[in-house]
Amino acid sequence: MHLKTCLGVFAATLSIVTATPADDASFQAKVKQGLRLIKTSEADPGSWVTDEEKITNYTGKCAHFVDITDIKDPDVLKTYNGQKPANARVAAITYPAVSHQTEANRLIAQLNTSGPQSWLKTLTDFYNRYYKSSYGTQSATWLFNQVKSISASNPRIIVTQFSHSYAQPSVIARIPGTSPNLIIVGAHFDSTGGSTTARGPGAVDNASGCVVIMEALRVLAANKYAPRNTMEFHFYSGEEAGLLGSADIWRNYKSTGKNVLAMVNTDMAGYSPSGQISSYNDYSDTGLLAYVRRVITAYIGSYTTDTCGYGCSDHASVYSNGFPAAYVCDEPDRTSTPYIHSPNDAYSTVSFTTVLRHTKFTMAFLIEANYL
């Protein structure tokens, strides 16, 4: 959802309220009416809106938000109110210097854009990938099967669907390591064209991010790569509706005590006038962010930076649940694709040179982080 700055003011919402506990009677009454509680900033007490209003008046008009309707964890809510998440496990993680170039470069040399071009074309051929549409559900099924297919050369890889309260599941591929500690890369696959019914090819946002991590997975599978740390590849649904899919997954990871050493979110990886990777500053762990930038410098070269803003993308779900997160995309906000959240975010606007650049970084990150 990395939202390009747009002109225009979104329409007035149905009501503005202070976020209340999910078991409050008035809260539940709103939910039964089909309304969702969203926040647009740390200071915003919250607004009740319909799904159509979320997409048309917020996502479609480039206003950041997080859907907090189903978030019951007070610590997560405090983070979305501006407090820094407290997690001693994150503070204990040491991110070293880059030191595994020989191993990483051997795998990087095997990356190409043949698969990404084909996969991205299929993703953009869906009328849209809106999380509540039949097309959104169909795209999730296609993605699940495609990820299984590219993983099939290594029978140790496990590909699963993560179900939500809506029909579009997320997809997770796991390469088991000798340690249960997790290294995760992720990207959302849903899309919007500015309304719930609009054509939304979502080429740069975010089919490009999906095919980046799919190509890295393909090469690791083909090499039957046996990692030290367990590696996961996340494909999130419902991101454009307020980070819904990632919120569910990271709520589960927190409640089940997963030990995550690093998570890098890729949202938009196919449009880059600068020819660099952009590494964003906010809703990120400072130690991991510095590590990501060392990896970019060692393997890709210089990078750009920016601040993403409230509810920008799925790394906010990771960070708010107390896990180390970082976010990379293709450009600073001011020079990013002008076609975001519109029918014009088309296959023809994608630079596969940019896609390959991000894929090389992703592979480098996975191999380096494998030794954390």
Q: Write out the catalytic residue numbers.
A: 188, 205, 239-240, 267, 341
d(CA 340, CA 185): 22
Q: Which amino acid is at 236?
A: Y
d(CA 97, CA 100): 9
Nearest C-alpha neighbor of 354 from the set 203, 217, 221: 203
Q: Which helix (H) or strand (E) holds 213?
A: helix 208-222
Nearest C-alpha neighbor of 314 from the set 298, 329, 304: 329
178: left (phi over 0), alpha (psi -120 to 50) or beta: alpha
Tokens 């994150």 correspond to 90
Q: Which amino acid is at 246?
A: S
Nearest C-alpha neighbor of 130 from the set 140, 121, 118, 120: 140
Tokens 């009740």 correspond to 48
